[in-house]
Structure 1
Amino acid sequence: MKLGIDLGTTRTIVAAVDRGHTPIVRFDDDADGIDAWPTLAATDGSSWVFGPEAARRLLDPGWQGVRGLKRLLGGPQAGPDRRVPAGDQPTVLALLTAYLRALRDALLHHSNLPREADDDRLDVMVAVPAAASCTWRFLTLQAFRDAGFHVQGMLNEPAAAAIEYADRHGRTLNSRREHVLVYDLGGGTFDATVVQLGGGQHRVLAHAGRNHLGGEDLDAALLALALDRAGLEWTSLSPATIVRLLEHCRQVKEGIHPSTRRVVVELGALLTSVERASAGIDEDHAVTLPLDRFHQRIAPLLAETFDTVTELIGEGSAGLEAHGIAGVYVVGGASSLPLVARQLRQHYGRRVHRSPYPAGAVAMGLALAHRGDIVVHDRVSRHLGVFREWSAGRQISFDPVIRPDMPTGGAPVIRRYRPVHTIGHFRFAECDRLAADGTPAGDLVPVGELRVPFSPAARTDPSRAGIAPMPEGGPLVEEQWTVDVDGTVTVRFTDLDSGWRVEHRIHA
């Protein structure tokens, strides 16, 4: 069975390839079933449960929930050994793998997925945010593979959504307007991407985004308003209570429709008895907020998404026209908020096309990508480089080797030199922009270190593993940096004199 799986911050959506169609898979959780598997984990301190069962356990005493597993894959602390501060504190990779194993079991045994009784092979296309780091990409691929999925490829989420747009709205494209702007406001990230569509050859032309802006931030804004109205402080509540309240605020937010005028946050029922007693409120205590207050609170967050789009194409409809953009495709679960649609229409007019399945567009695009007649030519979205020593080790500077907008799967970047030390100490890092002096700026993420023995003696004799000046006549070394089609980066060091080489896939 071929699937597209969109591992979201809030929920995971799965689309199947079924006789030319890409239906969303439904899971057997209640009488009607559910078409999204919550991206949730919960622990009682020793055991873990996932998905719908984790959502139910959030209300049980002694259980602590973990929201936003996907967000744990990003940031400066990301890496295979990063610990999750809950229960027995598993690594992020171990917890994500366990979540995906539970998802795989649900797909095979508790869903409407058609399959042969003895066939449990699941071929999947998966996705990550366009600005995901190398570590984020590595952890995602590794977790899916360790969970038993057969990963056929990885796309950036906006590129997958663009495939679904071309399939659904192909009539809007013509020789003068063959580009689409994907506005993807998900549970934890925001991406804006311009994609050229045509003849099954889809090219990503430009991208901008925020890895820490999404629906979870809107949930937190609503909770902050409710706590402020009730006179409560975040620090007075346990982590388990905060998770319950944020999940409740997500449900309240997703229940907002165009005619909503006020929202109600049920605080009392979700606090522990000790917390209620300390706050002086009863179990029935609820906070009613005018919707305008919520809109005012989240206005700066939404403005940041429009500022990001403006950086990409310019202002409003004029920017669309200048770039030959046929439409703005609105996807992502958080984009369902009516305020988002209203502000998008104000900015871009009638060219706004909201996906009928905003939370499922990426999964459906991934399922379509299994077809052999669709090729996506993506681009790098971040700077990746290495801190190098200069002036015989007296200075250190950042060398940005891989730059944004380089095509994935393209020609490698090659550097050749004669090293001045017997061992090269490479400290890799990614960032979303460079300062005027070339130093990393913005979202800086270390992505690992590597020591390369340039001296033949250092390769064979551990006693010579210390860094020392290279004797005269050292080897000629070639660095070859390759960006794979899935956006991961591999660097190969080759001693051109002897043929010795070492290869390293970059991740924290």
Structure 2
Amino acid sequence: MARHGSPRTPVRSSRRLHRALLVAFVCLVLFGPVVAAAVHGASSNASPPRRTCIGIDLGTSYSAAGVWRDGGVEMIPNAIGSRITPSVVSFQESERLVGDSARAAMGDDPARTIYAVKRLIGKPFTDPTVQEDRKALSYAVVDGGNDRAAVRVSFGGRDHVYTPEQISAMVLREVKATAEAHLGHAIDEAVITVPAYFNDAQRKATINAGRIAGLNVGRVLNEPTAAAMAYGLDRRGDVAANERNIVVYDLGGGTFDVSVLTVDDGFFEVLATGGDTHLGGEDFDAFLMEHLAAGLRRSHRIDVHADATQLARLRVAAEAAKRRLSSSDKTTVDLSDIVGGSHEVTVTRPQFEALIQALVRKSLSNVQRALDDAKITPAMIDDVVMIGGSTRIPFVRRTISNFFGGKRLHTSINPDEAVAYGAAVQAAVRCGMSDELKGEAG
């Protein structure tokens, strides 16, 4: 039977093939246009590639950047893994250092290391505050032409003059480069923060610094607004917040700023600002430095003020001790490099608090003035946001909490990063990620 049936097998196979081809042809005719339209529709309705927008806190002492990614704000680390970068530029004979390496050069090369240039940006050279700053800064502040404040440094056998915008651009360019290296692609837009009291010239100068750095600056955002956004104070869950009164206490490295805000239906309004452009962590460092310098005069008859390099080294040692005292009851300061032999000094937290007590009380007088200007009492404040690295100091937190009747302070976000965090939230809004942001903080 198998032998008789085998000649007819090719015929049956051929008929099956023809039927399959006919069915396929009919399906193509009937349904091909529908499938093509569906594919075309899916393609045309696909969301365009999302832009990358970052938030940058261009700070007096440190800068930081954040980006909205994977449903939350991600702080961007720099080349050494730190999430804050010193706003410092140092000019060496053969290279220009920016960030951590520049800060490390401050002790040995103070005249060519530029820091705290935010104090000068957008200001005339003849501005009284600029003239006052000239006395304290270790580098030369000069008239850059047309009564514009500028800095002068010497390297390569000649003098070089840079505007504050150019120096700030060097810092921003470093932030941009590390951000793009971390993200793996270019940045489309940046939101850069500024103090609420910055005038139009200072804001324009900051935007110009960003452009020099190669950034598309979509917006400048007030720092206190950014800090409040970081804590989600413009929203309660998915609903815009009803009227609330907020104080943002910003004690950074070089300046103290206080802002009184109100938020209603998700919109912020700055009611009053205040502060002191010469009150900050650097002043705490200076008080501790003078304490240590007095001890050196007594024990070794050394006047560190007579040697700029020794003074810079003592300033670095004082800052490091201050930071340790925020988490320890006492610390040891090694001054061997200054005295030329083994020498250590112990500083306790109570000693440090006694040294800075007057400065912290001074900040409170600025807070009270801002509240008076806003016609608000401490009891009417709903939220107190603490930002700036110096708000880590336990004595500062206790003093502010007591001033507001023992109110619990907003301190859960790293105070060095809170402004950049809020700027990243605003940048995400600008990049069309509003839906992802709902209920993110609160």
Q: Same fold by TM (over 0.5)?
A: yes
Picking from 306, 309, 333, the partner of 2:389 is: 333
Question: Structure 1 265/167 Cα, relative in aligned 2: closer, same or farther at 3 Å?
Answer: same
Structure 1 residues 247-305: Cα deviation after superposition (integer angstroms, max 9, x where no partner): 33222212223541x33333332x4xxxxxxxxx2243233333333222211211111
- The offset of 1:218, in angstroms, is 1.1
Picking from 55, 66, 73, the partner of 1:4 is: 55
Q: TM-score, normalised by structure 2?
A: 0.70
Correspondence for 2:96: 48
Picking from 155, 162, 167, the partner of 1:95 is: 167
Whether the 8 Å contact between 1:257 and 1:338 is mirrored in structure 2 is: yes
Q: Which runs of 5+ in 2 are unaligned?
A: 1-51, 124-128, 132-140, 432-442
Question: What code does the residue aligned with 1:365 have?
Answer: G
Picking from 378, 381, 389, the partner of 1:320 is: 378
Correspondence for 1:465: none
Q: Which runs of 5+ in 1 are unaligned?
A: 272-280, 375-508
Whether the 8 Å contact between 1:329 and 1:352 is mirrored in structure 2 is: yes
Task: Give the Cα separation in 1 of the matches to 2:313 and 2:207.
Answer: 30
Task: Give the Cα separation in 2 of the matches to 1:229 and 1:144.
Answer: 45
Structure 1 residues 15-70: Cα deviation after superposition (integer angstroms, max 9, x where no partner): 112144211111231xxx21111222223356421112223444668995333232
Picking from 354, 358, 363, the partner of 2:411 is: 354
Whether the 8 Å contact between 1:132 and 1:211 is mirrored in structure 2 is: no
Pairs aligned (count): 348
Task: Give the Cα separation in 1 of the matches to 2:179 and 2:280.
Answer: 27
Question: Structure 1 373/347 Cα, relative in aligned 2: closer, same or farther at 3 Å?
Answer: same
Is 1:268 matched with 2:354? no
Correspondence for 1:445: none
Q: Which has the higher strand share?
A: 1
Is 1:254 matched with 2:323? yes
Task: Give the Cα separation in 2 of the matches to 1:242 and 1:340.
Answer: 26
Question: Structure 1 170/28 Cα, relative in aligned 2: closer, same or farther at 3 Å?
Answer: same
Task: Give the Cα separation in 1 of the matches to 2:201 and 2:346.
Answer: 42
Question: What code does the residue aligned with 1:218 have?
Answer: F
Question: Structure 1 85/300 Cα, relative in aligned 2: closer, same or farther at 3 Å?
Answer: farther
Question: Structure 1 133/248 Cα, relative in aligned 2: closer, same or farther at 3 Å?
Answer: farther
Question: What code does the residue aligned with 2:402 have?
Answer: Q
Cα RMSD between the aligned structures?
3.0
Task: Give the Cα separation in 2 of the matches to 1:21 and 1:61.
Answer: 41
Correspondence for 2:15: none
- The offset of 1:167, in angstroms, is 5.2
Question: Structure 1 10/250 Cα, relative in aligned 2: closer, same or farther at 3 Å?
Answer: farther
- The offset of 1:123, in angstroms, is 1.1
Q: TM-score, normalised by structure 1?
A: 0.62
Correspondence for 1:368: 425
Question: What code does the residue aligned with 1:104 have?
Answer: K
Correspondence for 1:24: 75
Question: Structure 1 353/98 Cα, relative in aligned 2: closer, same or farther at 3 Å?
Answer: closer
Is 1:104 matched with 2:160? no
Is 1:345 matched with 2:398? no
Question: What code does the residue aligned with 2:396 have?
Answer: V
Task: Give the Cα separation in 1 of the matches to 2:208 and 2:318.
Answer: 32
Task: Give the Cα separation in 2 of the matches to 1:156 and 1:142.
Answer: 17
Correspondence for 2:134: none
Correspondence for 1:242: 311
SS state at 2:193 partner? strand
Task: Give the Cα separation in 1 of the matches to 2:416 and 2:236.
Answer: 20
Correspondence for 1:222: 288
Correspondence for 2:255: 189
Task: Give the Cα separation in 1 of the matches to 2:71 and 2:265.
Answer: 18
SS state at 1:17 partner? strand
Is 1:121 matched with 2:187? yes
Correspondence for 2:226: 160
Question: Structure 1 44/373 Cα, relative in aligned 2: closer, same or farther at 3 Å?
Answer: closer
Whether the 8 Å contact between 2:243 and 2:264 is mirrored in structure 1 is: no
Task: Give the Cα separation in 1 of the matches to 2:282 and 2:349.
Answer: 18
- The offset of 1:369, in angstroms, is 1.3
Picking from 171, 196, 206, the partner of 1:140 is: 206
Correspondence for 1:305: 363
Question: Structure 1 59/190 Cα, relative in aligned 2: closer, same or farther at 3 Å?
Answer: closer
Question: What code does the residue aligned with 1:10 have?
Answer: S
Question: What code does the residue aligned with 2:411 have?
Answer: R
Question: Structure 1 245/67 Cα, relative in aligned 2: closer, same or farther at 3 Å?
Answer: farther
Is 1:67 matched with 2:115? yes
Whether the 8 Å contact between 1:44 and 1:63 is mirrored in structure 2 is: no
Whether the 8 Å contact between 1:193 and 1:208 is mirrored in structure 2 is: yes
Question: Structure 1 235/57 Cα, relative in aligned 2: closer, same or farther at 3 Å?
Answer: closer
Whether the 8 Å contact between 1:3 and 1:124 is mirrored in structure 2 is: yes
Task: Give the Cα separation in 2 of the matches to 1:258 and 1:242.
Answer: 26
Q: Which has the higher helix share?
A: 2
Structure 1 residues 58-91: Cα deviation after superposition (integer angstroms, max 9, x where no partner): 4668995333232333633587643425434432
Task: Give the Cα separation in 2 of the matches to 1:44 and 1:145.
Answer: 25
Structure 1 residues 185-230: Cα deviation after superposition (integer angstroms, max 9, x where no partner): 1111212112222433122222222222111111111111111111
SS state at 2:391 partner? helix
1:272-287 to structure 2, matched below 5 A, reads 281-287=339-345
Question: Structure 1 66/131 Cα, relative in aligned 2: closer, same or farther at 3 Å?
Answer: same
Task: Give the Cα separation in 1 of the matches to 2:358 and 2:428.
Answer: 40
Whether the 8 Å contact between 1:226 and 1:289 is mirrored in structure 2 is: no
Whether the 8 Å contact between 1:266 and 1:285 is mirrored in structure 2 is: yes
